[in-house]
Amino acid sequence: MIDFEFHIPTKVIFGKNAEQYAGRETKAFGGTRALLHYGSDRVRNSGLMSTVRKSLDEQGISYVELGGVVPNPRLSAVYKGIEFGMKEKIDFVLAVGGGSVIDSSKAIAIGIAHDGVDIWDINDKKIRPTKTLPVGCIVTIAAAGSETSDSMVLTKEEGWIKKGIHEPICRPAFAIMNPELTYTCPPYQTASGCVDIMMHSLERYFSQDKNCDLTDRFAEAVLRTIIKYAPQALADPHDYNARAEIMWASSMSHNDVTGAGKIHDYASHQLEQELSGMFDVAHGAGLAAVWSSWARYVCKNDVDRFIRYAINVWDCEYDMVNPENTVLEGISRSENFFQSLEMPIRISGLGIGELTDAQIDELSLKCTFFETRKIGNFVRLDREDIKAIYRMAR
The model's pLDDT over 23-72, given as tens digits with 9 standing for 90+, comes to: 999 999 999 999 999 998 888 888 999 999 999 999 999 999 999 999 99
Tell me which amino acid residue 340 is. Answer: S
State the residue range of the domain holding 344. Answer: 187-393
3-state SS, residue 96? strand
Q: What is the pLDDT of residue 67?
A: 95
The model's pLDDT over 306-352, given as tens digits with 9 standing for 90+, comes to: 999 999 999 999 999 999 999 999 999 999 999 999 999 999 999 99
Percent of the chain, pLDDT > 90? 95
Bridge partners of 137, per DSSP, are 95, 175
Kindly state the average pLDDT of the residues 274-299: 96
Indicate if 37 and 56 belong to the same structural domain.
yes
Distance of alpha carbon 219 from alpha carbon 213, whole angstroms? 10
Domain boundary among the residues 155, 182, 209 is at 182
Indicate if 168 and 192 belong to the same structural domain.
no
Question: Cα dist. 25→45, 174, 176, 179 in Å?
Answer: 24, 7, 9, 19
Indicate if 233 and 343 belong to the same structural domain.
yes
Of 177, 226, 176, residue with least CA distance to 201: 226
The number of domains in the chain is 2
Average pLDDT, the chain: 96
Indicate if 288 and 167 belong to the same structural domain.
no
1 pLDDT higher than 90: no
Q: Is 371 left (phi over 0), alpha (psi -120 to 50) or beta?
A: left
In a domain, 5, yes or no: no
In a domain, 1, yes or no: no
> Residues 6 or more apart from 5 whose CB is under 8 A from it?
none
Distance of alpha carbon 198 from alpha carbon 186, whole angstroms? 19
In a domain, 6, yes or no: no
Indicate if 237 and 120 belong to the same structural domain.
no
Indicate if 173 and 204 belong to the same structural domain.
no
Q: What is the pTM of this model?
A: 0.95
Q: What is the pLDDT of residue 41?
A: 82
The model's pLDDT over 208-261, given as tens digits with 9 standing for 90+, comes to: 888 899 999 999 999 999 999 999 999 999 999 999 999 999 999 999 999 999
In a domain, 118, yes or no: yes
Q: What is the pLDDT of residue 45?
A: 83
CATH of the domain at 245: 1.20.1090.10
Indicate if 268 and 332 belong to the same structural domain.
yes
In a domain, 175, yes or no: yes
Indicate if 144 and 221 belong to the same structural domain.
no
In the chain, which ranges are E strands?
Answer: 11-14, 33-38, 62-66, 92-97, 135-139, 151-156, 161-166, 174-177
3-state SS, residue 19? helix
Indicate if 191 and 147 belong to the same structural domain.
no
Kindly state the average pLDDT of the residues 76-86: 97
In a domain, 80, yes or no: yes
The model's pLDDT over 368-387, given as tens digits with 9 standing for 90+, comes to: 999 999 999 999 999 999 99
In a domain, 127, yes or no: yes
Distance of alpha carbon 380 from alpha carbon 28, whole angstroms? 45
Of 86, 93, 195, 198, residue with least CA distance to 147: 93
Domain boundary among the residues 182, 198, 220 is at 182
Domain boundary among the residues 142, 167, 182 is at 182
Indicate if 301 and 379 belong to the same structural domain.
yes
Indicate if 66 and 196 belong to the same structural domain.
no
Distance of alpha carbon 61 from alpha carbon 173, whole angstroms? 17
388 pLDDT higher than 90: yes
